Each structure stands twice: as structure tokens, then as C-alpha cells.
Amino acid sequence: MRLCPNCHSKEHSGRLKEGEHIIVRCDNCSLLFLLNIPDEKEIYEDYYKIEFTKEDYNAESKYPYLTDIFEINRQRIQKLNQLQKALKSTGKKILDIGCGSGLFLKTAKDEGYETYGIDISANALRFAKEEFGLNAEAKSTEDIINEEKKFDIITLWHVLEHFLNPVKELISIKDLLSPGGYIFIEVPNFNSAEFRLSGYKWKGGNHPKYHRTFFSNKTLEETLMRSGFGNFQRIQLSYHLPGRNPLFNSAKKLFNAIAMDAFLDYTAYNREHEIII
Ligand SMILES: [Zn+2]
């Protein structure tokens, strides 16, 4: 029996059975999580299918989804630059956990950040290294802790929901932050208007084959608190993508303001560091 990864409660209510996947809601803290875990090694073998080259990653790509990803990463960097300015931070060392083929790191590197990535997909890492010349390796958080590396910014774009134990992972990640460093997290939002309208058929975030936890702003904040990241902030980052109806973008922005957009974005800071200051 899998316990709730946030509060370790045994009590939950059945919510969905989709094929062999069972998603339940914790009776104690409301976290949605996958009850039965498939074999991790097997499922990630075909996770990254890379059909493009580095030239295809631009604002007018022949692959519309790459145009969207290019634009999303540009807006992420824009937000990161704003944060850096607000925090008066000059630290440029980024660790991207779950960097995949390196698309975000490529954008970050072009913007002057010092980039490093880790992932479990050999196929994706090969692309990141060979196509973009990025520093990216098949290492775990524990490996980097042992190497005593520190980072100013650690990003997790749609990664936290893949972990079996997000609290445990975040506690380790905290050890990798330099003084004054912070994490930037984005996850699918299970309190979003999209999810509420389409239910468990929501393609934006419901992938029980890969996802282990399904966050709302409330349950993600609980996860951050339990990881020792008491000092966090929800970031308003409503992606406006090319070719979308302006009304759709405006509605998204409104939903983003009340934490009901498709994705949730949070930054969290080293609490000990804040207390010392
Ligand atoms: Zn719970």
C-alpha cells in the first residue's frame, strides 16, 4: 500500500481507475497521487522521441509544438531575468533537473546563464550535448551533492510530478543551492479550469503512466513546506503563445491570477539563509 507522499497518511478515497492506473486523493491533505507504480526503467525508454534538429528550435519552426516550446522558454527566461533583478542576484549558475534534450538550457545559455543539466534519458542527453554543446549528464541529485556542486538557480519544469517522493527529492535539491539561491518549479495544475472542464481526460497534465503526483496550488505549497522550503512565492507566468485567440490568452491570464491556469509556477528560497540574514 502506497502512503501519501506528502503526509504519509494511509487513508485515501478512490478517484479514478484508468487502465491499470489508480489515482486517489489523500483524505488527510487532499494530495492526488498514483497508487500503483509501474516499472520506472521500462516506461522511460521511449519517453523522448527526438525527430528534430537544432535548426528546428526557433520562433518559426516547421514543427508548431517546437515554436510553442521556444516561446515558452523565452518567457521563462524573461521571468527569471525579472526575478534576478528583483532579488538583486548576480548568480548565473543554473541546474536544470530533468533537462531532456536541453531546449530550456539552450535558451538560458544564449541569455548568458551558466548552464548544467541532468536527466535519465541517454537519448535526450546525447542530443543536448551533441546538437547544442550543452553540459548535461545522466546523474542523480545525490551524485551532484557528492561532488559538492552548488547552483544559484535550480529549475524543475514539469519534473516534480514524476518523482515518487517529491518531498524527499526537494530536501536533497535544497542542499544544492548556493547561499541566496532559489528553485523555480512548474507543474501541471489539477485545480485548473482545463482540468475541471475535461476531467481526467486532460491532456495538459494527466499522464498517469509517467506522473506520480497531481498538484494543486494548495498541495504543492504543502509539499514545499514539508521540504523545508517555507519561504516560497507563486509566480504569475501565463504563457501567451503565437497563433492563439487573444481572448483565450486574456482568459488564461485571469485564471493564472487565481491559480487556475493549466500550469502552476513557484519559486522557493533557502529558509536557513533567509533566517541568517
Ligand atoms: Zn496526504
* 48 lies in some domain: no
Q: Does 168 reside within a domain? A: yes
Residue 26 lies in a domain: no
- Scanning the chain, the segments in alpha helix (DSSP H) are 40-43, 64-87, 103-110, 122-130, 141-146, 166-174, 193-198, 217-226, 246-257, 271-276
Where residue 77 sits, what CATH number does that domain have? 3.40.50.150
- pLDDT of 133: 97
pLDDT tens column, 236-268: 999 988 888 999 899 999 999 999 999 999 999
For residue 12, the CA-to-ligand 1 centroid distance in Å is: 8
Whose cell is 510553442? That residue is 68
14 falls within a domain: no
Please tell me the distance between residue 270's alpha carbon and the centre of ligand 1 in angstroms: 24
Indicate the SS3 state at residue 165.
Answer: coil
CA–centroid distance, 152 to ligand 1, in Å, is 31
Residues 123-162 have pLDDT tens digits of 899 999 999 999 999 999 999 999 989 999 999 999 999 9
- Ligand 1 center to 5 CA (angstroms): 7
State the distance from the centre of ligand 1 to the C-alpha of 234, rounded, in angstroms. 21
Residue 276: its pLDDT value, please?
39
pLDDT at residue 170, as a whole number = 97
Cβ within 8 Å of residue 141, ≥6 positions away: 97, 118, 169, 172, 173, 176
Low-confidence ranges of the chain (pLDDT < 50): 273-277
170 C-alpha to ligand 1 centroid (Å): 17
Is residue 13, in this structure, part of any structural domain at all?
Answer: no
Q: Report CA(250)–ligand 1 centroid distance (Å).
A: 34
Residue where the block lists cell 494527466 = 206
pLDDT at position 119, please? 94
Whole-number pLDDT of residue 102:
97
Full residue range of the structural domain in which residue 95 is found: 59-276
Within-domain flag for 2: no
Backbone angles phi and psi of 152, in degrees to 5? -80, -35
Domain tally for the chain? 1
Does residue 251 sit within a domain?
yes
Instruction: Quote the pLDDT of residue 198.
Output: 78
SS3 assignment, position 41: helix
239 C-alpha to center of ligand 1: Å?
Answer: 30
33 is a domain residue: no
Given this model, what pLDDT does residue 271 score? Answer: 57
pLDDT at 201: 66
The pLDDT assigned to 275 comes to 42
pTM score over 0.85: yes
